[in-house]
Structure 1
């Protein structure tokens, strides 16, 4: 599962227990607050480091150890966060401790999940205190939660934060959502495959919401579901243009950038899964199909989409439409692969098959590094916005190499560039 950069990815809750005994672990939270209170007794940073280690990280469960390793947390980070945000910690404390009062409810929800999906495999759940940048992550059959993010609510004091995302992430959160969010993440521990394609990943996320709704037997309260339903036609039209790409920026894990319109891939994936379920005669088999869908198989995912009837067209016809309309690079000057480019060259031109949206570009360094990048600036578009002009600074007898990606390039009719990753390389000649 990816780093959780938006509200519902960041709230990584999973029921993690077998029927007997319970496998929810909350001791890290208790240990943190013992360390927190101890730290208030001294002004010495070195003593604070000793206290956080003695009472918290030194007593870490295997879940906290895994979380710290995955996110790069250390004793120094914890102490600095405690020092910098006292109002926040005082406001979040009671919420984090509330987790222990939810265990019975969480266990009942997993029992209900097992009723509708008897093949359910056990998972473990570790509630911890993280480093204020991640609600959690899933690792195989283990869910690792940063409760200081995951249990925030509108009453949480965010006045000390400079990070705009942190200021807004709790605005629409509620502790009442814990159980459904828990089921969402539990389903992730059951899924197979991790294909970086908008269609696959949207169904992977949205299907977890659909199963959560079936378990809870009531509609989910999610901003992206409300927003998506209110803009359904517009969202659907944009999705058909981008679902076969690997560009998540408009669809997933984009809470810092999109605000209210973030994570609409969850909404689309939810709608596709819901239609699949509604169209199925055997509902228990449909649940099994949804949970066990292989996300590494594009064919399996595309068949699932077709059977859902989310689009009136078959997926193969949508693919033909997509391939027909996606823009391509038709010319590069100097030509890609050239071996004797004049070092006096000051501009490069990249020409596309369609008119492109100006001011949206995406370039990456190649594996060779920054010293192989010739670009000094983006001059702009010409040729009716079909040609991008780049300023370059070249040296004699030198190789250059960089990567053009489709994450930023988009045609004016809404299609991303065909090549997800185009390597551009050339070599200069003598002066």
Structure 2
């Protein structure tokens, strides 16, 4: 049978489209915000229902049960319950009334996020499938990731200074500070791009400070390329203006295992600026990218690095050539500068630990010894540091019939931020 020209053209066009590289038409599948609309639908029905005994069921039927996969994950990882949602709806009516207009005008933000994701696909063609879910939570996260999903709590991420917070109790001061410090709705585009980059990267928890800051900073740098604008994180601008001072401090703490105030913390620090580790990783990534002849490969390197392996991260940073000395030399200086425990005095149940130098009294950490939990020297009362920070006292339960152990871990740190060389306290068996 002879094929008609029009039919042949249609088949060929179909084959071409099936084999071509996916384009922007797929972006709608990567951004899901229907949970916000479901929340407001439940909200309206609850306010209109005089029988309060039906409110919880309305919430479950309209918002909880039909929730997207991302919203379901948000429920699970933050332990959000239907009862908590209902309690907040009843407790904070002025807040929700002021939040709603911001969420109803989110279309331009969604368009910008889709554009950023398309730009990311161009910068990094191997991009794995991922989704961004704009959901509703209960004030315990503005944004996080689970596998290939970015999960937003829009009740935090889409706020600004116009929302009413007078109904919140003192325990919600962190939320007021967050709104004041971040102006969230104006930064949510950047945050979405940053978190989406993370869905393509290996995790860096419990590896090293260097791995953590490079993972965070590389995501922020790549997000700036996707957004085609400078980072909105205040630490980046501060770091650019104080580069030498910030990096000098970081080199002292570079081989710390724990991030302390460098990331995910507003704890007091020498710069009065939170999350300075984002700047460290950003500056390293920026240096690597602009020195590279193949920019696309540089982005792939920053994304595909095994951040779960501290040695791999250290080798990669050495190859960058940013630091004047190899990391092995910096590690020698770090080890030589680490504080130590010089002795432990015991007076019956009271133990006094003596350190080689004054310690930062904001940090401490105790752990099991090699014999595990069954042989732990359990602290009864933590008595604290001496005024000069060179001694620490506590009382413990003694069990003369067995050897007991307690490790003073590297979470202790000196005034320069350098972690303690771990020390094992051991009691002898009678």
TM-score with structure 2 length normalisation? 0.84
The secondary structure found in structure 1 opposite 2:235 is: helix
Matches for 1:350-361 after TM superposition, within 5 Å: 350-352=353-355, 354-357=356-359, 359-361=361-363
Residue of structure 2 aligned with 1:134, choices 137, 141, 151: 141
Residue of structure 1 aligned with 2:378, choices 361, 365, 373: 373
Q: Is 2:214 the counterpart of 1:214? A: no
Residue of structure 1 aligned with 2:265, choices 254, 264, 284: 254
Q: Which has the larger radius of gyration?
A: 2
Q: Is the 8 A contact 1:29 1:97 kept in 2?
A: no
Write 1 or 2 for the structure with the bigger share of helix: 2
Residue of structure 2 aligned with 1:345, choices 345, 348, 366: 348
Specify the alignment match of 1:203 in structure 2. 214
Q: Is 2:182 the counterpart of 1:170? A: no
Q: Is 2:108 the counterpart of 1:96? A: no
Give the distance between the partners of 2:429 and 2:93, measured in 1 at CA.
57
Specify which structure has the bigger relative contact order, considering alpha-carbon pairs within 8 angstroms and separated by 6 or more residues: 1
Specify the alignment match of 1:272 in structure 2. 284
Specify the alignment match of 1:341 in structure 2. none
Question: What's the CA shift for 1:365?
Answer: 6.3
Specify the alignment match of 1:180 in structure 2. 190
Give CA-to-partner distance per residue, 1:264-306, whole Å, 9 cap, x none: 1111110111111122122121111111111022232113322
Q: Is the 8 A contact 1:127 1:144 kept in 2?
A: yes
Specify the alignment match of 2:84 in structure 1. 77
Question: What's the CA shift for 1:257?
Answer: 6.3
Give the distance between the partners of 2:320 and 2:163, measured in 1 at CA.
40
Give the distance between the partners of 1:84 and 1:107, measured in 2 at CA.
35
Give the distance between the partners of 2:407 and 2:140, measured in 1 at CA.
29
Give CA-to-partner distance per residue, 1:147-168, whole Å, 9 cap, x none: 1111111222222222221011
Question: What's the CA shift for 1:260?
Answer: 5.6
Q: Is 2:417 the counterpart of 1:411? A: no
Question: What's the CA shift for 1:263?
Answer: 0.8
The secondary structure found in structure 2 opposite 1:22 is: helix
Matches for 1:111-122 after TM superposition, within 5 Å: 111-122=118-129
Give the distance between the partners of 1:368 and 1:43, measured in 2 at CA.
55
Gaps of 5+ in 2: 1-22
Structure 2 vs 1, CA of residues 377 and 216 (structure 1 numbering), >3 Å: closer, same or farther? closer
Residue of structure 2 aligned with 1:20, choices 21, 26, 35: 26
Q: Is the 8 A contact 2:139 2:155 kept in 1?
A: yes
Specify the alignment match of 1:284 in structure 2. 296
Question: What's the CA shift for 1:410?
Answer: 2.2
Give the distance between the partners of 1:331 and 1:108, measured in 2 at CA.
60
Q: Is the 8 A contact 2:382 2:393 kept in 1?
A: no
Q: Is the 8 A contact 2:132 2:150 kept in 1?
A: yes
Question: What's the CA shift for 1:393?
Answer: 5.5
The secondary structure found in structure 2 opposite 1:378 is: strand
Question: What's the CA shift for 1:195?
Answer: 4.0
Specify the alignment match of 1:54 in structure 2. 61
TM-score with structure 1 length normalisation? 0.83
The secondary structure found in structure 1 opposite 2:316 is: helix
The secondary structure found in structure 2 opposite 1:143 is: strand
Question: What's the CA shift for 1:113?
Answer: 1.4
RMSD, matched Cα: 2.8
Q: Is 2:248 the counterpart of 1:237? A: yes
Question: What's the CA shift for 1:394?
Answer: 4.2
